[in-house]
Chains A and B, each alone.
Chain A
Amino acid sequence: MPYLLMLLLLLLAFSVAAWVEPRYQARQEAHPANMMSFLLGDSRRLFANHFFVKADVYFHSGFYPTIFDNQQSFQTPHMAEDAGALKGHNEGDETTFMGPPLDFIEAFSRHFTPSQHTHLDEGGAQGTNGPDLDLGEKGGEVREILPWLKISAELDPNRIETYMVTAYWLRKRMGKVDEAEAFLREGLRANPYNPAILYELGRIYHEDRTNDAHARNLWELGVRKMDEQKTVKSEQDDFIMFQLTLSLARLEEDHGNLPKAIEWLERVKVVSPYPAVIEKQIEEDKQKLADNQKSGAVTPDKPGSQPP
């Protein structure tokens, strides 16, 4: 009798395992879980924000406000604002967030902490080497922010600005275009058809690979996906739309396709913070178009504007 009972229990265990296993495998394929998700669950998104800010701390070589300091000039991480990933909301002087020291102890302690506002792409703590350095050893100190951005992306793959910021610094300051593209494609896998990532990918093809046709396709896809969004557009959505439509307008202008350029500029005007400036550019393009039609001029296409 006991042996029969054991056999029954064994059969039951085997049946349950055979039932659960294929369902578990299917779930794993649909929602691949890495160690971070397993250990931290959804709280990993909190850590993701912490590491994103940590990257900005590194961007400033440690000179960064704490929760006790005035954070108005650091509301938008500077590395993200410089990369064009986020619209800036910073106010006030970024060099004086600590304010005057309250006592002699605080005044003395400032000799021992980072005390100057610097950016890594301008030389960092070792001294300013000038703005807008693209490549080379001095500009390459921006590499130091990459580990924190990578960790932030691992913890929260749905945080779009992480991909945009990382891709920008990888390709603009470190010349690692392939790595930037690969990282953006990782972001697209986690966030299919995300307009911001499509925009950044388009920038790679336009600025680094000089493949304007591919860039145009990506940007137009981004605009289409934004138009399909049924949710209420946030300020960041408007910012991305502004960037997409303006880039498309500039691309068409470069290729002499003024009617299309004007069409895109009309869309830019809707989301631009300076509609009067855009309106002026539309008028200028209309004037150019009229002049071209009068003279019968045909502008040759730029190389890379047609698909191979």
Chain B
Amino acid sequence: MNVVFAVAGVVIKEMYRRKDFYVLLILTVVITLLMGSINFFDDDKIARYLKEVSLMLIWISSLVIAISTIARQLPMEKESRTIFPLLAKPISRAQLVAGKFLGCWLACGIALVCFYVFFGCLSYSRERHWFLLNYFQAATLHWAMLAVIIGMALLGSLVFAAPSSNGTICFVFVVGILFIGGHLHHVALAMTEPGRAITTAIYFLIPHLEILDVQERVIHDWPLIDWLSWMIAILCALAYAAVFVFFTCLLFRRKALS
């Protein structure tokens, strides 16, 4: 495990040495503050539109950070030929994959903490109330969702030719699931065979990332999600992530590095 954490540490250091995270954080803050400066009928307590804008920017930023970070990990190691001395050390290919996954996931977690702290301060400035547990639930579900996406992009980095194509396909896939993944079964029922069977199969196979998106509950101050459902959702997300990492390990074990 020390080896895995060592590789993860390198990924985390890489994230905070690059400019991506800082640029996205500053952009989120600036755009949100600009939107907050707009006057609507002399009422300074209007908060929800600002929360929605802020959360939307946080979600976009986290997706960009997660996918762009993980998509280039293995290809970059191969391109710069640093993968050979790395694997010459006592580290297996599976440990390398696990380390990359863990590093990227922890890095995204650190980024999410920064984003959600900003979000919490923003909400408090308008609503004068902390919904700490709600934000905690939202942030942890968000982080679990990123685990699935990172696992998916990591597998994609071995399947697709370039990090750019991997990133684009992952992005499209994630956005597709978020918008229509939950409705695929309804769509399938309106179709004829064999489309109905295929769509239903897709519905039951895909990771339902839209379940982990609780922005609406946070924006409109809905009560807490029951902790059992929250726990089940997180465990399911981690299970999906583990499946993706497992298949990545299987694929990487057989892949030629030169």
Contact = CB atoms under 8 A, between A and B. Distances in A.
Interface in B19-63: 38, 40-43, 45-49
Contacts, number: 90
A179 B42 contact: yes
B41 A170 contact: yes
Interface string A125-142: 110000000000000100
B221 A126 contact: yes
A112 B211 contact: yes
Contact of B186 (A68, A111, A174): A68
Interface size class of A (residues with CB under 8 A): 20 to 34
B77 interface: no
A198 B244 CA distance: 62
Given A58-B48, A112-B211, A124 B182 contact: no
Given A106-B182, A125-B221, A150 B41 contact: yes
Contacts of A105: 185, 203-204, 208, 211
Contact of A102 (B42, B43, B189): B189
B186 A102 contact: yes
Interface in A160-178: 170, 174, 176
A278 B48 CA distance: 44
A224 B216 CA distance: 46
B128 to A, nearest CB: 11
A143 B127 CA distance: 12
A125 B223 contact: yes
Interface size class of B (residues with CB under 8 A): 35 or more
A114 B185 contact: no
A111 B221 contact: no
A107 to B, nearest CB: 11
A114 B232 contact: no
Contact of B226 (A111, A150, A179): A111
Given A61-B222, A125-B222, A170-B41, A147 B187 contact: no
Nearest to B41: A179
Contacts of B182: 106, 109
Nearest to B213: A112
Interface of A: 58, 61-62, 66, 68, 102-103, 105-106, 108-109, 111-114, 124-126, 140, 143-144, 146-148, 150, 170, 174, 176, 179, 183
